[in-house]
Structure 1
Amino acid sequence: MASKTALPAAQYLFTTGQVRANYGGQTLSMMRRAKLFAEAGTPVAIMTVDSWYGYPALREEWAEEGVTAEGVTILNIHEDYRVGDIHHLLTGAAVRRREPKVLQIPMGFRPYENPVDGKNMKRFWYPEGSKQHRFTEYLRPDRSVFMRTLSNPGVTEWELPERPVGFYDTEGTFVGAFGSHQAWWAHWIGAVSAGNEPTVIVNDYEHPLFLGLGARPGVRKVQVIHSAHSKGADPLGPVKERWEEIARGHEPFDTAVFLTEAQRDDWVRKLPSDILTAVIPHSVHADAAANLPDARGLRCVIVSRLDDSKNVAASIKAFDVALSRSPQAYLDIYGDGPARKKLEELVSALGIGDKVTFHGHLVNAAAEFATARLALFTSKSEGFGLTILEALTRGCPVLAFDVRYGPSDMIEDGGNGYLIPDGGVGEMASRLGDLLTDDALAERLSKQAVSSAEKFSEAAFVQRWADLVEAVPSI
């Protein structure tokens, strides 16, 4: 149970693009923060803007699995406009009262419903036999159109946000429009947070369109810098350009939370500004280390999204080499993603298919660390590396590449695991072999792993957030 530390009285909104059942570390950390806030007596509304229709089922699933708690609400903008009172939702000066001409479908366009959309959308193709679509309509359960916008064939609304969005009642009559998706999102957040109550908006999505979203007089706005999905090794990630605008005073946003001191230092050095910064690392559940087994066999574990940035191939190669010293060892991989097929082919090419098992996505995969001898972590870059903390809490030593950011904040080289120079597959294999063949070493590192994770307690986490919110000025 989280500490009952009192957060400043306010309405707390967490904004993000989407949350799904096969979430990664960024979503997991946001959901955990929301749960801890709620357990400390502060309700949280998580606001999502994607067009996915699965949120009702997801809410039930996560409530049953304990991902959410009483006081945590997941809201979705498409769901509100799809099943809500469209006239009531479209109020205020930001709403356009005339239907944009660009949304009126000319004669000759052919409707097409893609089975992948589950018949929840209808797209209109150009005439002349072209299969490029120009318009997209979003449908209610009764098949009536509630929203129409210009299509982005091959891309998403994130890439071309400056498109008008029109809304229609069940009779097909135009009700109102916004000049862009971003204007629509901002209006919705403003409507949800309307009232006299102080509001704190914590944004977890690192997309330029979101950094100033919801900012208005009287609101305290916090941006969490995960940089989990940065391309390449740029530590500033995808928010660099927007941050530079903010630093020049062009945006109403002035507070950022980083997960590690090193990341914060890099940002402040490269993009100096008057923006308030704080470091709040992730937390772990206090009972995670209870009832740990005395022996863990020779089981190695990877818990990761399977894409190229996570570099799971390096872990597999190191494991393959270490098998020469410990042929009875085996590797369980939990997670899914676009690189899975390529990784399965690598395992097959190495001839270790009987030693490596791909389990796919598992909601409570972190629990697997409790019975593992060691965990492997070879990401190319990270914002923090939550799975490292999950493993240490459960007495599972971690062998990790020393990348920015995260591993060096949690791993004491030779104490609770090993920090390997980035890309050092040979050294990773050597350390792996040491842990697999030396029971005394494995036991020592396991015990130290548990004690090293204590500083990341939930109580300390909530207190850090309470202190930050107190310090955040209203815009």
Structure 2
Amino acid sequence: MDIQTEPLDAYMVTWQVELEFGGMTTVCLQRAAAFAERYGHASVVTFNADPAYEVVLQSLRERGKLSEKVRHVNFYEHLAAHPLKPQAKLAAAKFVPEHTDFRAALSNTYLDSDTATFSEQSYAGPEKEVERKSYFRRNGTVYLTDTKFPSGGTERRLLEVVNESGAVTARFASAAALYRYWLSELVDHEHSLVVVDSKFSAKFLSAWNTVHVPKLFAFHSTHVKAGQNLLTGALADGHAPMIEQRAKWDGFVFLTEAQRSAYVARFGDAERTFVVPNPVRSGHIDPPLPQRNPAHLIAAGSLTVNKNVAASIKVVAELKKRGLEATLNVVGQGSQLNVLEQLASDLEIRDNIVFHGYSDQLPRHFAASAIHLLTSTNEGQALVLIESQQQGCVPVSYDINFGPADSITDGHNGFLLPHGDITAMADKAEALIRDQELAARMSANARKFAEDWASRDIVALWIETRDEAARLKKSGSPEQLAAFTADLQGMDFLDGSVKIRFAHGVPAPVTGQFELVLIGRDSKEVLASIPASEVAAENAAFTVSTEILAQPGVADAIGDASVKFSNGSSSETKRLRLADPVLVPYLTAYNNLSIKRV
């Protein structure tokens, strides 16, 4: 396939794009720009309601944040300007509000217009218990109403899409259902690539069923909580819903092979996991070029607990104890700013720390600094390391999951250190400050690595990923899914684990995957999901370790065990059962073996 010329519509799906944004949105826009350069166009898709839509786009384009070739397709703006395909069968609303005497309370105008109404808030009922938000085209006609109201003790929602004549053409009981319907019309065709970047958007897109385009989710950060064991630790809050619903996705895309390997070791499904690193933004700096100061260090990123900039400040304090007056440039903003400022004062190095806040001139900051300190607790790829290497700024980083080890060859183009070792980080920083020959050599090596990294064809990697995911999507066999059983055959008590054997009934060759799903009887939440340890032509087995059951909130809450079989983008879940039981062994309350007739 000639990916240079074959027509392709690339869509990067996120929740919103604001005037100021972080790394995930930056990557989303840069990836869209890369596809636009290759194919002449690409799209970023958003779902937030924003009357400042056009003003935001204009500002981003003027500042070079959004390529002129990239289309920004916002749900509300697009729905206002393009008729939505009417539902084949417009069903009557199952629930309707008791009160409809709506009284307008608040309205918003399009920010680029003094008169055109964007939306209007209104209420009905004696206690204003019915809330309606109406959205208007620029010609003043309504295109969408979103009504929230109580019914039968439950909060209900009714969204109706209205055409230019005022007739309802589509009706939904949730915003998520409307978003999915609209998105299918927009992107679900054969020559399409869809990458979901936003964890928030991915929550309502797990239930999105596509016909043609493979549904891909991009992991921008680690899939476990900070400090957790990769095989047994609690999943990151944002990623847990997608992982629990992974059978509904056509592919998960990771930034590094290390993270993909860690995921596969725990959940299996190697076929539908891929690695595509993020593109690197241009490191070009307009003259005049800044003068690099050998005693200037930099910490760049959001000021959050995870980024752990406090450790970088402590490194500067340690250097001062050794008689080195180093300056740390902190570039970024976030909730930890006041805490970090106070820490610098407490350590009596406030004059050594410069808080720059957010800056869109990060390459210039890197070019002016000699050493880049990365002290995060976890990362997805730590692309900021490559951005610093582009400018010859030598990274000194904790060796964390995931990313630094992919960018840094220890002692060659940077340093890798054990997480939390302030002294070791200060040692390496001191060596670079005092030995300018070492600093110059490592700076040149860093530049060369970044040049080689940036030369990779990221677009080609995404196309390969899309094509393989599309192939797997089409290969799902309905016959295998229909034959799936979960007939318990036996259990083996091993050292530190239990092996559960069952007959799956799936015709050979088995192309799908099996998972043991443990569900809380009261909460009905998925507490653990364990991939099959063995799969044969007629049966399969799960190995459940005590480590998995020892996780907080799991052992005491398990009520039901089911088997999920996934094939392509389809899946089915069945309770583990004895097909034809006569005598059944069980354990008494005192852990004694007993047998009963069924």
Query: The TM-score by the shorter chain falls in which range?
Result: 0.7 to 0.9
- TM-score, normalised to structure 1, is 0.82
Cα contact 1:110–1:126 (8 A) shared by 2:
no
Q: 2-side partners of 1:357 and 1:403: how far apart? A: 26
Q: How many Å apart are 1:6 and its aligned residue?
A: 1.7
Map 1:231-270 → 2, pairs under 5 A = 231-233=225-227, 237=236, 238-247=238-247, 251=248, 253-270=249-266
Judged with a 3 Å threshold, the aligned counterparts in structure 2 of structure 1 residues 168 and 29 are, in CA distance, closer, same or farther, namely same
1:41 aligns with one of 39, 42, 56: 39
Judged with a 3 Å threshold, the aligned counterparts in structure 2 of structure 1 residues 416 and 288 are, in CA distance, closer, same or farther, namely farther
Instruction: Confirm or deny that 1:434 pairs with 2:428.
Output: no
Aligned to 2:343: 346
Q: 2-side partners of 1:136 and 1:228: how far apart? A: 39
Instruction: Confirm or deny that 1:91 pairs with 2:86.
Output: yes
Judged with a 3 Å threshold, the aligned counterparts in structure 2 of structure 1 residues 430 and 35 are, in CA distance, closer, same or farther, namely same
Q: 2-side partners of 1:181 and 1:14: how far apart? A: 20
Q: How many Å apart are 1:395 and its aligned residue?
A: 0.8
What SS does the corresponding residue of 1:189 show, helix, strand or coil? helix
Aligned to 1:32: 30
Q: 2-side partners of 1:125 and 1:112: how far apart? A: 13
Aligned to 1:472: 469
What SS does the corresponding residue of 1:40 show, helix, strand or coil? helix
Q: How many Å apart are 1:163 and its aligned residue?
A: 4.4
1:57 aligns with one of 52, 55, 59: 55
Q: 2-side partners of 1:286 and 1:69: how far apart? A: 13
Map 1:75-474 → 2, pairs under 5 A = 75-81=73-79, 83-84=80-81, 88-89=83-84, 91-93=86-88, 98=93, 100-102=95-97, 111=105, 122=121, 135=131, 137=133, 140=136, 146-150=144-148, 163-167=157-161, 176-193=170-187, 198-207=191-200, 208-212=202-206, 215-227=209-221, 231-233=225-227, 237=236, 238-247=238-247, 251=248, 253-273=249-269, 275-284=271-280, 288=284, 295-325=292-322, 327-473=324-470
- TM-score, normalised to structure 2, is 0.66
Q: What is the one-letter code of the residue matched to 1:20?
A: E
Q: 2-side partners of 1:229 and 1:460: how far apart? A: 26
Q: 2-side partners of 1:113 and 1:290: how far apart? A: 44
Residue range with higher mean Cα deviation, 361-370 or 386-395: 361-370
Q: What is the one-letter code of the residue matched to 2:194?
A: I
Identity across the alignment (%) = 27
Cα contact 1:285–1:458 (8 A) shared by 2:
no
Q: How many Å apart are 1:416 and its aligned residue?
A: 1.6
Q: What is the one-letter code of the residue matched to 1:92?
A: Q
Judged with a 3 Å threshold, the aligned counterparts in structure 2 of structure 1 residues 352 and 312 are, in CA distance, closer, same or farther, namely same
What SS does the corresponding residue of 2:303 show, helix, strand or coil? coil
Residue range with higher mean Cα deviation, 297-306 or 235-244: 235-244
Structure 1: 5+ residue runs without aligned partners? Answer: 153-159
Q: How many Å apart are 1:169 and its aligned residue?
A: 7.7
**Per-residue displacement from partner, 1:189-208 (whole Å, max 9, x unpaired)?**
122236x6522211112345
Q: 2-side partners of 1:384 and 1:342: how far apart? A: 26
Q: 2-side partners of 1:400 and 1:125: how far apart? A: 58
Residue range with higher mean Cα deviation, 70-79 or 209-218: 209-218
Q: How many Å apart are 1:18 and its aligned residue?
A: 1.8
Q: What is the one-letter code of the residue matched to 1:399?
A: V
Q: 1-side partners of 2:156 and 2:298: how far apart? A: 44
Q: Which has the higher helix share?
A: 1
**Per-residue displacement from partner, 1:140-174 (whole Å, max 9, x unpaired)?**
4799874324399xxxxxxx998443456899987
Q: How many Å apart are 1:256 and its aligned residue?
A: 2.2
Cα contact 2:17–2:46 (8 A) shared by 1:
yes
Q: What is the one-letter code of the residue matched to 1:265?
A: S
Q: 1-side partners of 2:156 and 2:453: how far apart? A: 42
**Per-residue displacement from partner, 1:327-384 (whole Å, max 9, x unpaired)?**
4321221211222222222223333222222222122323321221111111111111
Structure 2: 5+ residue runs without aligned partners? Answer: 112-116, 474-598
Residue range with higher mean Cα deviation, 25-34 or 209-218: 209-218
Q: 1-side partners of 2:31 and 2:299: how far apart? A: 24
**Per-residue displacement from partner, 1:72-106 (whole Å, max 9, x unpaired)?**
1111113334x436xx236224865548424x657
Cα contact 1:98–1:177 (8 A) shared by 2:
yes
What SS does the corresponding residue of 1:375 show, helix, strand or coil? strand
Cα contact 2:100–2:125 (8 A) shared by 1:
no
What SS does the corresponding residue of 2:217 show, helix, strand or coil? strand
What SS does the corresponding residue of 2:437 show, helix, strand or coil? helix
Q: How many Å apart are 1:453 and its aligned residue?
A: 1.8
Cα contact 1:49–1:76 (8 A) shared by 2:
yes
Cα contact 1:124–1:134 (8 A) shared by 2:
yes
Judged with a 3 Å threshold, the aligned counterparts in structure 2 of structure 1 residues 335 and 201 are, in CA distance, closer, same or farther, namely same
Q: 1-side partners of 2:75 and 2:16: how far apart? A: 10
Residue range with higher mean Cα deviation, 377-386 or 465-474: 465-474
Q: What is the one-letter code of the residue matched to 2:314?
A: K
Q: Which has the higher contact order (CA 8 A, sep 6+)?
A: 1
Q: 2-side partners of 1:316 and 1:94: how far apart? A: 62
Q: How many Å apart are 1:213 and its aligned residue?
A: 6.1
Q: 1-side partners of 2:177 and 2:56: how far apart? A: 27
Q: 2-side partners of 1:151 and 1:298: how far apart? A: 62
Q: How many Å apart are 1:267 and its aligned residue?
A: 0.9
Q: How many residues align?
A: 452
Q: 1-side partners of 2:90 and 2:43: how far apart? A: 24
Aligned to 1:156: none
Cα contact 1:109–1:125 (8 A) shared by 2:
yes
Q: 2-side partners of 1:137 and 1:319: how far apart? A: 53
Cα contact 1:284–1:458 (8 A) shared by 2:
no
Judged with a 3 Å threshold, the aligned counterparts in structure 2 of structure 1 residues 264 and 161 are, in CA distance, closer, same or farther, namely farther
Q: What is the one-letter code of the residue matched to 1:67?
A: K
Q: 1-side partners of 2:125 and 2:335: how far apart? A: 31
